[in-house]
Every structure is written in structure tokens, then in C-alpha cells.
Amino acid sequence: MVSFIVSIIVLIAGYFIYGKIIERIFGIDTERKTPAVLLRDDIDFVPLPQWRVFLIQFLNIAGLGPIFGAIAGAMFGPAAFLWIVLGSIFAGAVHDYFSGMLSLRHNGLSISEVVGIYLGPNVKQIMRLFTVALLIFVGTVFLVGPAKIINGMTGDMWNLWIWVGVILAYYILSTLLPIDKLISKLYPIFGMAMLLMAIGLLVALLFGDYKIPELNPGNLRNMTTNPDETPLFPILFVTIACGAISGFHSTQSPLMARCIKNERCGRGIFFGTMITEGIVALIWAAAAMTFFGNVSELNNAMLANDNNAAWAANEISLHMLGGIGGILALLGIVAAPITSGDTAFRSARLILSDVFKSNQKKIKNRLYISIPLFVLAFSLTQIDFGIIWRYFAWSNQTLATVVLWTITAYLIFESKAYWVTLFPAIFMTMVCSTYILIAPEGFELANDIAYWGGALITLCTIILFWTYVMRKKAVSRSMKETFS
């Protein structure tokens, strides 16, 4: 219990202390007009109150990540607490803040375009394809997943594909309509429901008869059933993504960068929502470790139920929160993925509109871009859900890694403290490269070979990155001297 409480305190302190440091490094300008004001179109560029933007961003980035990912991560034991806390503060929140603020500084540009500014046109083209593919994966996962959950809750009252059609219809509306007409109305409600569910679990954990395992040297090990098949590094760091660091967040931040009224709101909205998500993930991880008795019993229960995190989340909610838990579980476990799916499609539309320089004021322009996205996503629903999810998990963390390198380049070019993202970028490069070498959906290499391979890829990445930024900085300096 002590480790759990200390972890929450450290996360909160991280927002006020490290968040302020990151804000100073970036250097906000409270007099600078934001894209919401300069480019207002009442479709995507719409000034919104800070509290509303906070709740929309929180639900955008959260979805089921801090619930399902935290439950799956809890199977590793209290080591999950350490990754959630350190990852949220020093990687996730920094990633989210800079990706959001750089979009803000570049007129609300999508993350792929921001990457291109600092890492070059070749990387930009790759990132355009990569981010749109990732967002379609997210939309597809959160199209079929919630439909299956609703179908199960209603006892197969309707055919599964009817629910898929209903959710798809909502996605179409939320992608096309102005952001203040549907999303800004529904998201605060669902966001509050998700926060209330987490607060309810926190109260139950603190005052109920639950024993949360402590984070100590004896418990800082891989507690999964088959540790050789699921090594703590790198599997844990991909399993818990949205509760620590997630590339998906950087695709969502430009949506809110187009709605923020003043740069001073950035820390609360971008850094703050990531810390909030970390706290939610911490609560769910603790609940999973204690509700079933201990970490070993959690692993047994998950194994008996096909590692179904949705089942575990439902059991925890209903039994720890009572009758009200069923309502909150319905809102959280069903609404959360839907509200990530709709903004995934909206983000994809905005990325493609940036690529094709398409003015989104006219509905026909939004339709031209959106219809192919929905057709492609629906066709992907015919593929096994598990396959899509596994590739999403890796591609999600890979995107976060590329964005961290992008921010590092920006900080170097601006002669600012680039170490705040350099070290997380190196770490996540090692995580992603090792994961794809070791995972079943990757090359399935032996652990030792994968670790050496991951280290080699990481070293090559550092050398290539450093060569590129130093060359570009030298060219920039030379041009300044020429025209001075």
C-alpha cells in the first residue's frame, strides 16, 4: 500500500515540478495568438474552454489503454508501478507536451508534418503512411471491440454487425461534424465517468480489505506465468503503453492544439492529461493485483479467461464498485474505446487534409477524405482482431519513439536542453527494436540474440540521428553567416 500511495504522490509532484521544468525549456509565449484564434473555421479550429479541452484530450488519449494495458501489465507484478510512474513523467508527459506544443507553434499541423520539419522530407513521407495506418488500426480495433462488448452485454439481442454499423455511423458523424457540435458535448461526460470510476476504485483500495503488493527488490521481477516467453524487457514496456507513453497521443494532440486559447494552457492539457492517465493506470494495475488475491492468482484468472482484459475490468468494476460500478463500467469499457476510435478517424482526416492541402471548411472535402478511410477500416474488420491489436501495440510505441527523436532534433536546433527527450528516445528505440525481434508477431528470435540486435539497431539509430542533425545545424549556421 505504501508503494502505491507514494507512486501517486510522485506522479502528482511530477506534474508540478518536472512539468514546470519542461514548460520553461519549451518557453511559452502567452502573448502569441494560437491557431484556434488565427485560423478559426468553426470546424476543426475552434477556441474551447480549458476544462473542456482537458477532458476531451484525456478521453482522446486514454480510451481503454490505462485500463486494459494496466491490467495486462499488472500480470508482471509491482514492476508495472515503476514503469507507469517513471514512464508517465519522464517519457509520456514530455512526449505529449512537446508534440502538442510543436503542433500549436506550427498552426495545428499534424504530427507527421511536424516530424518532417525537423527530421526531413523522407521521414515525413514515411510518417504520413505510418500514422494514417496506425490510426486506421486504432479505428478498426475500436470499431469491432466495443461492438463485441455491447453484443455480449445485450445477450446477442442484435447481430454483431448491426452494432458495428451503429458505431460506424457514429464515427462518420463525429469525423465530419464540427468539433464543438458532438465531440465537445459528449467527451466531458464520458471523461468524468472514467475519472469517477478510477476514483471509486481508489477509495475501495484505500479503505477496503485489499493488500496491494509493495514495490521492493524482492518483488521487482517478472511474475508472469511464463517469464521466458514474456520477458519483462521489452514486453512490459509495450504492454503498458497509454499508461506510460503512447505514440497515439501525438496523433491526438493536434486536434486540441487547434482548440487551445493560450499557450499557458499547454502544460495542464498535454502534460496534465498524461499524468492523469498515469494515475488511472496505476489504480487499475493495483486493483488487478489485489482483486484476484495476488499477482499469481491474477495470472491464473487471466489464463482461464483467454487473457481477456475486458472480462477482468468488468469483474473488478462490478465487485469493487457495487451497483454503480455496472453503470460506470458500461460507460468506461464501452464508451472509452468508441471515443478513441472516432478521434482516430478524425485525426486521419486532418493528416490527409494537411498532405493534400485540402480546406476542410466544405463538407464535400471532408467526405472525399473520410469515405476511403471508413471503407478501408470496415474491410479490416474481416481480419482476426488479435493480429490487428498486436501490430497496433508495436507500431504505437514505434511512433512515440520517432516523435521523441523529432522533439530532440527541435531542442538541438533551438539550443535547448535536448537531454530531456534524448534519453527517453534511446530507451524507447531499444524497447521497440528488441520487441519486434523477440515477439511472435515479429522475428521470434532467441532472447539473447534479440537483445544484441536491439542494442545494435539503437546504436545505429543514434549515429544516424546525430549525423543528420549536426549536418543540418551546420548548414543552417552557414546560411545565417552568408546572409548576415
Residue 121 included in any domain: yes
Mean pLDDT of 129-148: 82
77 vs 473, which has greater pLDDT? 77
pLDDT at position 483 over 60 = no
The C-alpha atoms of residue 199 and residue 46 are separated, in whole angstroms, by 31
- 293-298 contacts at long range (C-beta below 8 A, 24 or more positions apart): 294/213, 295/74, 295/75, 295/77, 295/78, 295/213, 295/223, 296/223, 298/74, 298/75
Residue 406 included in any domain: no
Residue that is written with C-alpha cell 499557458 in the block:
264
Most confident range, picked from 80-94, 180-194, 239-253, 327-341? 80-94
CB 30 within 8 A of CB 245: no
Most confident range, picked from 226-235, 265-274, 295-304, 432-441? 265-274
Number of structural domains (the chain) is: 1
Name every residue whose Cβ is closer than 8 Å to that of residue 206 and which is 6 or more positions away in sequence.
1
Name every residue whose Cβ is closer than 8 Å to that of residue 221 and which is 6 or more positions away in sequence.
77, 79, 232
Residue 374 included in any domain: yes
Q: What is the pLDDT, as a whole number, of residue 390?
A: 63
Residue that is written with C-alpha cell 546525430 in the block:
466
pLDDT at position 372 over 70 = yes
Mean pLDDT of 273-299: 93
* Torsion sign (Cα): 252, 258, 259, 260: positive
Q: Which of 153-157, 234-238, 274-278, 285-289 has the lowest mean pLDDT?
A: 153-157
Residue that is written with C-alpha cell 531542442 in the block:
411
Taking alpha carbons only, the member of 67, 113, 117, 88 closest to residue 22 is: 88
Q: What is the pLDDT, as a whole number, of residue 404?
A: 97
306 vs 259, which has greater pLDDT? 259
Band (pLDDT 50/70/90 cuts) for residue 271 is: very high
pLDDT at position 385 over 60 = no
Q: What is the pLDDT, as a whole number, of residue 326?
A: 63
H or E, element range at 130: helix 121-153
The C-alpha atoms of residue 247 and residue 76 are separated, in whole angstroms, by 22
> Reduced to 3 states, what is the DSSP secondary structure of residue 482?
helix
For the chain, give the mean pLDDT.
88
Residue 7 included in any domain: yes
pLDDT tens, position by position, 41-90: 999 999 999 999 999 899 888 877 788 889 999 999 999 999 999 999 99
Q: What is the pLDDT, as a whole number, of residue 256?
A: 94
Q: What is the pLDDT, as a whole number, of residue 157?
A: 76
Q: What is the pLDDT, as a whole number, of residue 450?
A: 96
Q: Calculate what percentage of the chain has a pLDDT beyond 70.
A: 94
Query: Domain span at residue 112?
Result: 2-400
Mean pLDDT of 165-172: 89
Residue 302 included in any domain: yes
CATH at 30: 1.10.4160.10
pLDDT tens, position by position, 289-329: 999 989 999 999 998 888 878 788 878 887 888 767 667 66
Q: What is the pLDDT, as a whole number, of residue 104?
A: 96
Residue that is written with C-alpha cell 525481434 in the block:
437
Residue 172 included in any domain: yes
Q: What is the pLDDT, as a whole number, of residue 309?
A: 80
pLDDT tens, position by position, 419-448: 999 999 999 999 999 999 998 878 889 999
pLDDT at position 331 over 90 = no
Q: What is the pLDDT, as a whole number, of residue 329?
A: 64
Peptide bond into 234 cis (omega under 30): yes
Q: What is the pLDDT, as a whole number, of residue 344?
A: 86
Mean pLDDT of 376-402: 76
